[in-house]
Structure 1
Amino acid sequence: MGWAGTTADAPDDASDGALARRAARGDRAAEEALCRRFRPRIRLYGLRHLREEAAAADLAQDVLVAVIARLRAGAVREPDRLASFVLSTCRQLAGSAVRTARRREALLSAEPLPAPLDPPAEPLPRDRLARCLEALAARERAVVVATFYAEQPAEAISRDHALSAAHVRVLRHRALRHLRTCLGLEEAAG
């Protein structure tokens, strides 16, 4: 089965271009038909290039989400060449996945990971931790609470507190250093 044309598993005999134009107008049935039509081809492409079933399934999902989003945004200039657009999206996302896997392998094989830090012999008293948290500057305390209690990433904290994400990371680093010193886990910088 090639990349161009229609397949028997489509709900009707509409061409790729006709379905793409309908999907661009918000027709959910056309979107579903395109997904049914292209998912098997994308999965096969993923198996051939990524060599893992899970990676191929992820690729199919990522490509279909990207293609449907581009159709909804009206960003597919030639709907009649949708198969070529899907193939180029496959190439881009599969290539990115391969590069990411190579970088990860290189990082892991280059140097052994550091040993995890030993946990404290006994848990820290809550009242001592509370006093140390209260001693932090208001912004530092807000960043620590948002990071470790609300489990928010730096980007979300930056939006909530009108700070840049980089500033949030600096505040978090500074606050953790102050907490370690206050708790006696680190010598005071002098």
Structure 2
Amino acid sequence: MFCIFAVSLAPERKGQLYKVTGETLEELWNELRDYPQQLDQKITIDDNDDPLSIDLLIDVAAKVWDIPAFAIKFLEVTHDFISRAELKAAKHALGVDNQEFEELMGIKDRTISTWTRGKWPIPPGIGDIVHRLLKEQDEAVEIVVNQYRQGRTFIYGKIYFSDKPLNWNKRVLQRAMVDYGVELFLEEEI
């Protein structure tokens, strides 16, 4: 699914999310043509002979939403929406704190907090990142289980996946222990 969106920074509309989604560029074009106009302004979009392109759609969105084109993003997404509760639940499921969650997602400091408190809308694409992280953790649990079945010993509190924070690694081991009976040890027990 394709998505064109922007979050307004204009003082009178600060934090307002503008978004259209569709399976094709033509669907995005139609969504923009039918987009509700602010303040009853009549903005017409002329059908033209130019082939539809992302740049053209962004320019049209800028006109319709009265937002600079550079502030508008185009994404291909699977999950174009994630609720505040789902975002909080994902952080808990991954076993990470706010800073680690932001680092895993590649997001600036305190951004997730503004989303979960409802201060700013959660933009499209965040759901895809969250689902990818959850899937990566599921795959890590499978790796631990398979290696345990082959005789590997696991020490709780050790980092086995170096590209992930310690708390994420701990959650993987916890899940492997609870769901699959993987035996864990402390460093001093080995």
The TM-score, its normalising length taken from structure 2, stands at 0.27
Q: Which has the higher contact order (CA 8 A, sep 6+)?
A: 2
CA radius of gyration, larger in = 1
Flag the structure with higher helix content. 1
Structure with a larger share of its residues in strand: 2
